[in-house]
Amino acid sequence: MLLSAVAVATAFAVSAGGTATAAAAATRAHTLSSAATDGASWSVSPADTPHGAGRPFFDYALDPGETIDDAFAVRNDGAAALTLAVYAADAFTTREGNIDLLPAGEQSEDAGTWVELDTAEIVLQPGETRVVPFSIAVPADARPGDHPAGIVTSLRSDDDGAQVQVDRRLGSRLFVRVAGELSPSVEVSDPVVSFSGTWNPLALGQVDVVYTLSNTGDTRVTAVGATSIHGPAGVASLTTGAEQLPEVLPGSTVEVTQTVSGVAALVWLGGAVNVIPTSVGIGAAQLDAVVLPFGVAAVPVATLLILAGIAVLVGAIVLLMRRRRRSA
């Protein structure tokens, strides 16, 4: 499922140099809104322009060197006047699979630098909507492919004496597809596999498989992933089934965890991770499947301990009987 916008509330700890971050996303129609206990509340969305109405996010197909004009709408849903910073920033996919934007203090290097906003700050009265014009200028030497970014509104707490300064951000995603020859590609890391059994010799365990999916190409990609497990000679075969993986922006990496439950401890298990990636956007196409086989020890510890205990008991009985025979 693709998110149409991102909402982020970030707490910057000014003491001890620490930081803490909490993120939440909420979509209502094509508008994203933010509300807080302090009464500040606002919403953002792409403005209705000749480029489209009711858009979930900004999406453009442009040539190198091309310039385009558009607009961003912000509405004050609260009961008090609101002062918001407005800026553009590069977008990326987090390792957890969420799409986020760089904070204001971190320098953008790609499409976030192509956006020029009509203003860097807006003041909204209660119920007021402001349309913020902006332009996008694609460099003449821009590489072909997808360049993700976003337009952000930011409300920072104004209490200079507070131990924690809160920065609440709300923005809309912006994608620029630069014309040219595309080269979508991905890399899948070798899986890290572990078997978890139980002390109940009659119970089944589970296999956890962790791997990363990296977008090494120049277009957005997504993928379907599945993990299969089997015992010696292919017995007791199990699979997670096809799982839709998150969308990964160019240059980003996500971590994938898949779990197969109901696995018997058959001493040694074989299996494979199967990932089928697909490029996203205009000209989307399925890429070559990636298959990574693996093996993992699945030692039935509880069963072995029981057998060892039985062996010790039998040995003790045999030894006792021999001693009695010798004595007789």
The per-residue pLDDT for 31 is 56
Strands 164-178 and 5-13 turn out to be antiparallel
Q: What is the pLDDT of residues 81-109, one digit of tens each?
A: 999 999 999 999 999 999 999 988 899 99
Average per-residue pLDDT in the chain?
84
Structure tokens at 269: 């298990």
Whether the per-residue pLDDT at 34 is higher than 70: the answer is: no
The per-residue pLDDT for 198 is 63
Q: Bigger pLDDT: 116 or 322? A: 116
Strands 267-279 and 290-298 turn out to be antiparallel
**Phi, psi torsion values for 312, nearest 5 degrees:** -65, -45
Could you tell me which residues are beta bridge partners of residue 306? Answer: none
Per-residue burial over 59-91, b = 16 or more CB atoms within 10 Å of its CB, e = otherwise: bbebeeebeeebbbbbbbbbeeebebbbbbbbb
C-alpha to C-alpha distance for 295 and 290, rounded to whole angstroms: 17
**Phi, psi torsion values for 296, nearest 5 degrees:** -150, 140
C-alpha to C-alpha distance for 207 and 269, rounded to whole angstroms: 10
Q: Which residue reads 């209660």 in tokens?
A: 126
Structure tokens at 175: 């994608």
**Phi, psi torsion values for 280, nearest 5 degrees:** -120, 145
Q: Which pLDDT band holds residue 21 (cuts at 50, 70, 90)?
A: very low
C-alpha to C-alpha distance for 176 and 251, rounded to whole angstroms: 15
84 close to 76: Cβ distance less than 8 angstroms: no
End-to-end CA distance of the chain: 81
C-alpha to C-alpha distance for 267 and 265, rounded to whole angstroms: 6
Return the DSSP state at 238.
Answer: E
Q: What is the pLDDT of residues 36-82, one digit of tens each?
A: 546 789 999 999 999 999 999 999 999 999 999 999 999 999 999 99
Return the DSSP state at 251.
Answer: T
The amino acid occupying position 96 is E
Q: What is the mean pLDDT of residues 1-21?
A: 32
Whether the per-residue pLDDT at 9 is higher than 50: the answer is: no
Return the DSSP state at 231.
Answer: -
Structure tokens at 328: 């007789």
180 close to 139: Cβ distance less than 8 angstroms: no
- What CA–CA distances, in Å, run from 95 to 6, 149, 193, 215? 16, 17, 18, 12
Domains observed in the chain: 5-178 (2.60.40.10), 186-302 (2.60.40.10)
Strands 82-93 and 99-101 turn out to be antiparallel
- What CA–CA distances, in Å, run from 63 to 138, 145, 146, 268? 7, 10, 12, 55
The SS3 of residue 121 is strand
Most confident of 33-42, 127-136, 154-163, 317-326: 127-136
Worst-scoring range by mean pLDDT, 9-18, 27-36, 148-157, 290-299? Answer: 9-18
Taking every pair of Cα atoms in the chain, the longest distance, rounded to a whole number of angstroms, is: 108
Structure tokens at 259: 């779990």
The SS3 of residue 143 is coil
Q: What is the pLDDT of residues 225-276, one digit of tens each?
A: 999 999 998 999 999 999 999 999 999 999 999 999 999 888 899 999 999 9
Q: Which pLDDT band holds residue 24 (cuts at 50, 70, 90)?
A: very low
Could you tell me which residues are beta bridge partners of residue 166? Answer: 11
User: Which residues are CB-contacts of 185 (< 8 A; sequence separation ≥ 6)?
Assistant: 215, 216, 217, 287
